[in-house]
Structure 1
Amino acid sequence: MADRSDRDRAVVRALLDAHGSTYAEEAGIRLRDTPQPLYQLLVLSVLLSARIRAAAAVGAAQELFAAGLRDPRRMADASWQQRVDALGRGGYRRYDESTSTQLGEGAELVLREYGGDLRRLRDAADTDAALRRLLQTVPGLGPTGADIFLREVQRVWPRLAPRLGGKALQGAGRLGLPEDEEKLLRLAGDADPAALSAALVRAALDKSIAEELAAGSDRG
């Protein structure tokens, strides 16, 4: 049992070292509990919701922000074509037209319902389940996108932490780790749950990560 625990801890450490950046970090979002970065995370979560490579979603988010569309007012004021063009530059071409519409409508909703500040959305929900439901009123943000947002925002919304989620547990299974949130958190020690979740999700989405870690273990 001790050998198995030591092996699992080593796998978690290697996973975090190689793949422990959050998707927000990858997109260049300096996540804080303030309106602009929270909105940027919402945009990224919408983009990651589609059946498209995560790298394309991250690239599209970077292009939207580089075009100045960093807050809901600027996103709403941009033309549909400006949003399409930014998405295309990021490689987000399969869903660029429908997503442009969703981003515009979502920005309008955030402005109308929450004054552009997603902390008001958080404060309007008295439970995590209610928060998840409110997030899904944003166009383009279904259950998958809501889960992405909640996993990443736990870093600055402590009431949500620790949270890994179903996709992270799938990644744990692929790596031969316990598919149990409490056990995984213990194996990770004092590691950031948002980083652990992102790393496990990457393992769920990319089988080469399991092969990479297995090869590293064999060399060790």
Structure 2
Amino acid sequence: MKNWLIALLVVGAAASAHASDYGCKVLLCLANPASNGGPQGVAECVAPIDQLYHDLDKGRPFPTCDLADGNDGGSYARQVYDPYDPCPPPLQPATRGAYVVQGRRNVGSGGSGRGGTGGNEWVGSGGYTLSGQPQVSELQSGQSGGGVGPQACVGKPVGTYTVGSYDDSVTINVFEQVLWQPAQNPRAIDVFINNVWQQRVRW
């Protein structure tokens, strides 16, 4: 990837000075995987990416690249405002504000039940064996604990159970797989190659 990127940058630099050269360089640099150092992992990318971040910070439009037009199935970049990265397939984001936990149904269990809120009731309630304690996905300000909490990327649902009293109860959603990802700087750029999402770059 690094050699390919350098070669394309050299070709771009040797081409005639076109208005979209800057945009094409930016797109190529943004496409450099994080495993290879990310957008500024190649020396030739440092200056154009610095310029991009400066321009975006000043409210200037995202540069275009005539050689990579997203309208005809090409490659492009798109600004987004999202504190979370996309969930890795096949996982999907849990419902915001839902209590989520990873677990499995115990053999012979009906899959639902009501437990108390004290002691170890959080773990194993309702006929499930749980991995860790339930958490709220995307905990928002105003909820218990405040702030913006991690997002749960969840797999296949296993079932639910309830804890607490009837007039103050909480439903726990159990999934066979849960991946928690922290909230990050929401200013980001999604990079698409051949009209397929590749990665999200934060700036």
> TM-score scaled to structure 1, two decimals?
0.26
More strand, by proportion: 2
Structure having the higher Rg: 2
